[in-house]
Every structure is written in structure tokens, then in C-alpha cells.
Amino acid sequence: YENLPIISWLVILRGRCAGCAQPISARYPSVELVVTLAFMFLAWRDLVGRWDQPEAWAIYAVHTTFACAILACALIDYDLEVIPDAIDLPGTVLGLIAVTAIPALLGPRLPQLAAWSAQATLALESPLAWWGLPASLLAPLEWVVDLSLRRPTTYPHLCGLAGGMLGAAVGAGFLWVFGRICSRLVGREALGLGDVKFMAMVGALTGWQGALTTILLGSLAGASLGLSSMLIGALPGRERGAGMTSTLRFGPFLAGGAAVAAFLPGRVLG
């Protein structure tokens, strides 16, 4: 009973250890409260009106797991300036498995491979003929179109896998390039690979659109905080540099952006 979320800290233990009476940080019940609210919000988002649908429960399970993962990454990065591989690497693999098994996780972000392949085939036929290249080079594209017609139940899973892989590649690749550019500009390491691998996990579950949304929102939030710190430090009567920190952890901002990208589209944003 001493480990009941929130209640134990507030009512039973009153913020102190039962054994030594030392204070217990309010961070613990705060995290428990955030997780509780997240689970309640996701239940409303994913399950209301769909309680009898197994796929809805599967989506809810994936979303709650992802929410816990990004929260853990954010807090660990804030404390230790590192995002553990033990979370983001398995998270990337599990994300790819999830979107392959449940393509509905990507929603409108699910790539339409058949349409893309058909358009690419039409666009490439003439150039291939002009260069004297064999039309068999278009066989993979034609196979995708054929799969969508012959195996309509299998085709969405292929689209889910493609969407997850594209999202992971775009998320990790874009942030890695962004980090290299920033490192060159400031003359030191500006972005760790932990953030890059974190974005691979995010992109695997949210697609390339969600990955770019996460980076955009995270960058805006981080830049806003950094600018605010600079302005506070420049106020009259404050010491030079007051209000500024030596390093700005990017992980928590990316986690916030990932939550918006993954969970708000749908019932909230339509």
C-alpha cells in the first residue's frame, strides 16, 4: 500500500519515507500523475466509441507504451544528458513491427505505395526507353501495384512497414544533418546521437510527417526557452549570463513534439 501511485505519497507517506522519514521528491507523484492523465487522454482518443474493437485496444496499447517511452527518455535526458539506447533502439524496432501489424497507427500518414508506384512507372517508361534500358527495371514498381490488387489484405501492411521505415530514416537523417550543421557553426558537438536515435523511434511510429513535425515543434520550443533565458539574463540588475544554462537538453523538447505529433492528430486536430 506504500507504493500506490500518487495516493501513497499524498496520504499514506505524506511525502516522506516510511523507514527513515527522509523527504521523497514530489517528482515521483508528478510523473505518476502525468502518466495517469496521458493514459486517460489516450483512452478517450483511441477507445471511446470503439470499446468492442480489438484493433482499438491494440492501438491504445502501442500509444501508451510509446507515451511511457518518450517520457522516460525526456526525464533521463534532462537528468543525465543522455537518451539510453535501451529505450530508443528497441523502440524503433517495436515501432516498425507495430505499424506493420497495425497500419491504422499511421492513419492518413500511411503511404499509398500503389499510387506512387503507378505514377513512377508512367513517369519512367519514356526515359528508360529513350536511354535504351530494359523495362524490367520497373518490375518492383509493377509488383507493388499488382500486390495491391491481388492481395488487398496484405498490401496495407507493406504500406505500414514502408511508412515506418521512411519515418525512421527521415527523422534520424534530418536531425543528424541538422546536428552536423550546428556543430560546424558553433565549433563543438551541438547534438548527440541519442537525439538522432530517439527520432528514429519517433519516426518509426509517426511516419515522416510526424518526424518532421516533432523536430519543428521541438526546435521552436527549445529556441523559445533559449531566447527567454538570454532575455532574462540581459535584464537590468542581473549578473551577466544569469538565467542561462551551459547546455540545453534537446530530448525533452523532442519528446513534447513527439507527443503532439503522435497523439493530437485524430480526435483533437481532426
Question: DSSP per residue over 94-142, as a string?
Answer: HHHHHHHH-GGGGGGGS--HHHHHHHHHHHHHHHHHHHT--GGGGHHHH
The pTM of the full predicted model, rounded to 2 decimals, is: 0.83
User: Helix, strand, or coil here: 208?
Assistant: helix
What the block records as the C-alpha cell of 108 is 492518413
What the block records as the C-alpha cell of 209 is 510527417
- The residue among 6 and 270 whose pLDDT is bigger is 6
Whether residue 239 has pLDDT greater than 70:
no
Q: Look at residue 265 in the predicted model and tell me its pLDDT.
A: 64
**Length of the chain as a residue count:** 270
What single-letter amino acid sits at 221? Answer: A
- Crossing angle of helices 193-233 and 155-186, in 10° steps, is 50
Q: Look at residue 14 in the predicted model and tell me its pLDDT.
A: 76
Q: Look at residue 243 in the predicted model and tell me its pLDDT.
A: 47
Kindly report the number of other CB atoms within 10 A of residue 144's CB atom: 21
Q: Look at residue 140 in the predicted model and tell me its pLDDT.
A: 87
Q: Look at residue 137 in the predicted model and tell me its pLDDT.
A: 86
Contact assessment for residue 174 and residue 211, using Cβ atoms and an 8 Å cutoff? yes
Taking the alpha carbons at both ends of the chain, their separation in whole angstroms is 41
Whether residue 229 has pLDDT greater than 70:
no
Instruction: Among 26-35, 144-153, 209-218, name the one with the lowest average pLDDT.
Output: 144-153
Confidence at 230, pLDDT banded by 50, 70, 90:
low
Whether residue 25 has pLDDT greater than 50:
yes
Q: Look at residue 268 in the predicted model and tell me its pLDDT.
A: 37
77-99: per-residue pLDDT in tens? 999 989 999 999 999 999 999 99
Nearest-CA neighbor of 167 among 95, 269, 104?
Answer: 95
Whether residue 247 has pLDDT greater than 70:
no
150-183: per-residue pLDDT in tens? 888 888 999 999 999 999 999 999 999 988 887 8
- The residue among 54 and 236 whose pLDDT is bigger is 54
Whether residue 42 has pLDDT greater than 60:
yes
Domain definitions of the chain by residue range: 1-44, 47-107+164-263
* % residues pLDDT > 90 (the chain): 47
Instruction: Among 7-16, 146-155, 216-225, 242-251, name the one with the lowest average pLDDT.
Output: 242-251
